C-alpha cells in the first residue's frame, strides 16, 4: 500500500526478512513510548520482532527513502482461536500523518487473511486506538471474553501495571479490552449501532479511562502503603 501525505510518501507492506535491520529501532521506540505514556506493553526483544518479520506476520511502514515510520505485528493464542494485533508503534518523526490508522487497517487485513475464523482482540489505554478498532468492527468487551492462554497474559509481566492485573485476577486493569468476532451472531444493525454509540461517546470514554487509571493507581499505592506498615 502506498500513501502520500504532505509530500511524504509512505509504503505500508507486509514485513519480510529484509526489514530485520529495523528491529532494534522498533523495540526501542516501543519501550520509550510506553514510558512516556506511563503505561506498559508487553516488552519484546529485537529477536522476537525479527521472527515476526521472517514469518510474514507483521506490517511495516517505510518512507520512500527507506526510513522506518511504523510497525505492528500479529500474535496467535489459544491454538489460533484468538489473534492480537500487537505492538502498534509510529516513529515520533511521522506522527500526525494518520499512519497508525493505515497500519492498523493493513495488519487487520493480514490477520483476516491468515486467520479468517479467529477472533481478533486488543488491550489498549489509548482512545485513538480504541477509535480505530471501533471503525474496524471491534467492540468493547470484558476481560473474560479474551483468550485464557497463559502465554498471552505472561506477556503483561513487563508492564508497569502488572500488579494491578494480578490483584484483579486478570479480570480488569488500566487497559480496555476490545474484540472483533468474525462469527458473531449479533444482529448486524445492532452491532453497527453499538459501534456508532461507542465512537460518539469516545471523548467521554477517554475521560473514563483516565479516571480509571487514576483510581486504580491510587488504590494500588494505598495497598502498598498499608502493607508496608506490617513489614
Q: How many whole angstroms separate alpha carbon 190 and alpha carbon 187?
A: 5
- According to the model, what pLDDT value does residue 199 have? 56
Q: How many whole angstroms separate alpha carbon 147 and alpha carbon 177?
A: 11
- According to the model, what pLDDT value does residue 186 have? 56
pLDDT band for 31, please (50, 70, 90 cuts): confident
Domain boundary assignment for the chain: 2-225
pLDDT mean over 114-138: 88
- According to the model, what pLDDT value does residue 81 have? 95
pLDDT surpasses 70 at 218: no
- According to the model, what pLDDT value does residue 55 have? 97
Backbone angles phi, psi at 13, to 5 degrees: -135, 165
Tell me the CA distances in angstroms from 35 to 40, 126, 156, 161, 200, one per residue in order. 7, 14, 15, 12, 29
pLDDT mean over 5-11: 79
Please report where in the chains the cell 487514576 appears, as a residue.
Answer: 214
pLDDT band for 223, please (50, 70, 90 cuts): low
Q: pTM here?
A: 0.79
pLDDT surpasses 50 at 227: no
pLDDT mean over 145-159: 87
pLDDT surpasses 60 at 222: no
Enumerate residues 6+ apart whose C-beta is below 8 A from 203: 127
Residue 169 grid coordinates: 485476577
- According to the model, what pLDDT value does residue 158 have? 78
- According to the model, what pLDDT value does residue 70 have? 97
Classify domain 2-225 by CATH number.
Answer: 3.40.630.30
Give me the percent of the chain exceeding a pLDDT of 90. 45
Q: How many whole angstroms separate alpha carbon 150 and alpha carbon 78?
A: 9
- According to the model, what pLDDT value does residue 147 have? 92
Amino acid at each position: 500500500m502506498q500513501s502520500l501525505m504532505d509530500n511524504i510518501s509512505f509504503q505500508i507492506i507486509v514485513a519480510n526478512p529484509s526489514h530485520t535491520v529495523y528491529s532494534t529501532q522498533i523495540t526501542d521506540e516501543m519501550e520509550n513510548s510506553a514510558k512516556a505514556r506511563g503505561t506498559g506493553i508487553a516488552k519484546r526483544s529485537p529477536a522476537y520482532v525479527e521472527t515476526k518479520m521472517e514469518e510474514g506476520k507483521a506490517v511495516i511502514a517505510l518512507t520512500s527513502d527507506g526510513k522506518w515510520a511504523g510497525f505492528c505485528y500479529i500474535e496467535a493464542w489459544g491454538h489460533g482461536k484468538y489473534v492480537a494485533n500487537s505492538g502498534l508503534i509510529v516513529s515520533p518523526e511521522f506522527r500526525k500523518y494518520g499512519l497508525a490508522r493505515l497500519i492498523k487497517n493493513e495488519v487487520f487485513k493480514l490477520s483476516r487473511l491468515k486467520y479468517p475464523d479467529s477472533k481478533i482482540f486488543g488491550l489498549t489505554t489509548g482512545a485513538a486506538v480504541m477509535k480505530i478498532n471501533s471503525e474496524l468492527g471491534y467492540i468493547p468487551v470484558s476481560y473474560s471474553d479474551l483468550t485464557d492462554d497463559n502465554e498471552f497474559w505472561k506477556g503483561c509481566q513487563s508492564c508497569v501495571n502488572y500488579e494491578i492485573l494480578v490483584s484483579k485476577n486478570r479480570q480488569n486493569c488500566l487497559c480496555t479490552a476490545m474484540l472483533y468476532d468474525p462469527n458473531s451472531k449479533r444482529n448486524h444493525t445492532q452491532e453497527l449501532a453499538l459501534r456508532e454509540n461507542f465512537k460518539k461517546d469516545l471523548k467521554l470514554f477517554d475521560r473514563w479511562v483516565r479516571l480509571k487509571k487514576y483510581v486504580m493507581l491510587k488504590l494500588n499505592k494505598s495497598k502498598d502503603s498499608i502493607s508496608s506498615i506490617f513489614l
